[in-house]
Homo-oligomer: A and B are copies of this chain.
């Protein structure tokens, strides 16, 4: 029969793999080639979390925009340093060479340049794609959702930067993920530090990448990488080591402002002065105690030019039933003053600072918590239109149409003659609180029997009052 297509061995393998996986962890949804489906339970949790994040963005006056999931390949190249190899490219089917976006920052910069926008506060929630090795436990997938907030425009120093950190603080507090810390550094301090330690310019990017590994790797291993693969002299590596193993508050900033070597470097000096101002603003915002100036924070991406930050959970939440997720970054961002200029014909710069919330990891944490604690409601149906007698399909259909037209969330079973028990069970399974029952007697009396699933109490309501009665009960609950 022409409508049925072939089903390849390859697809079978994937299906088999999937079934194995999903039988192991039924709630992670279909996972293949590093992506996954999201079940209604997961979607319900996601909706709650995304609403909280978006609400916070709107609280700070951000406008929403959207961009295509793919960009000209040209737009994405040379923006992500070592990570560029993780970009998904589309097949050349004629026309332009395209690639799936790797983050929401580069498309935003492209958007600003193309529309000649010099000032904008925007948020963007959307999927991005990276060909990384996926990990269910850490909630890392090849397709994942990002929630970005960015402030573009020429303003007085550190005021927008401080607001970005305030937003991260607000969101992580609202979501109650447990204690967290926001590491802060400045790209100019990082580069200045490399310079005064004697790292050759052409090695900056690689050293950046390995510095970022400190914490995941011991200093000994990081040093090994620097002196080995990258080819720094042990002396230079140790000078870097002395710096990047320090972290603290504003006092460390002041101390480094006095550092004989670092203070001689113009870039580093600017960075440190800005960090000092930043800490002053963070104190005014009342969040300074959660901020740590951390010299090992380097953020590999090419486009950062100033302040950089990364929020980490201090310990994975340990309520019963929760798998340990390990400490991980749940938000990050920084200042990128050069990126928009790269997309402008005349190279006109628009300074930007922004943040990205790592919602996937947050989803994993909250999912585990909710699965462990309570049943997750996946529908919002208010009333089931039911009957206890045969041949009442037509009456049920007339009634449910009235309810739908009044905006009431109603369902009925798609059977001509469902058993009354089946209908009641459906309510209990799916959490529908009310049943509107119609039968011969009700029809004769011109009433509808309204039953509360919880209390099992039934009352007759005049047919013409049923809508208002249901609305009244819903507004009360």
Contacts and interface: CB of A to CB of B under 8 A. Distances in A.
Contact of A408 (B59, B114, B281): B59
Given A15-B114, A64-B44, A2 B205 contact: yes
A6 interface: yes
B345 A12 contact: yes
Interface residues of A, number: 113
A235 to B, nearest CB: 24
Nearest to A18: B114
Contact of A2 (B40, B95, B204, B281): B204
A379 to B, nearest CB: 5
B5 A78 contact: yes
Interface in A327-363: 338, 341-343, 345
Interface centre among A2, A36, A37, A345 (most CB of B within 10 A): A37
A143 B61 contact: no
A156 B8 CA distance: 34
A38 interface: yes
B65 A39 contact: yes
A72 B10 contact: yes
A162 B416 CA distance: 14
Nearest to A339: B3
A98 B33 contact: yes
A121 to B, nearest CB: 8
Residue in A59, A100, A163 with the greatest tally of chain B CB atoms within 10 Å? A59
Interface string A15-46: 10011001000000110110111111011101
A14 B113 CA distance: 13
Interface string A36-70: 11111011101100000000001111111111111
A25 to B, nearest CB: 13
Contacts of A204: 2
Interface string A413-424: 011100000000
A40 B95 CA distance: 29
Contact of A401 (B63, B286, B343, B378): B286
Contacts of A372: none
Interface stretch (A84-92, A178-186, A226-234): A84-92
Contacts of A111: 30, 37
Please state the number of chain copies in the assembly. Answer: 2
Contact of A65 (B37, B77, B401): B37
Contact of A74 (B8, B67, B89): B8
A93 B98 contact: no
A338 B38 contact: no
A471 to B, nearest CB: 13
Given A88-B90, A91-B89, A96 B65 contact: no
A75 interface: yes
Contacts of A255: none
A74 B127 contact: no
Contact of A30 (B115, B159, B430): B115
List 4 tightest A-B contacts by C-beta distance, closest first: A5-B78, A155-B414, A40-B63, A35-B68
Given A2-B302, A40-B65, A64-B378, 8 more contacts: A2-B204, A7-B342, A8-B74, A30-B115, A36-B68, A59-B410, A69-B127, A286-B405
18 contacts: A3-B302, A4-B342, A5-B79, A14-B96, A18-B114, A22-B115, A37-B68, A37-B115, A40-B65, A58-B380, A59-B404, A61-B381, A61-B409, A64-B378, A89-B93, A90-B91, A91-B92, A286-B405
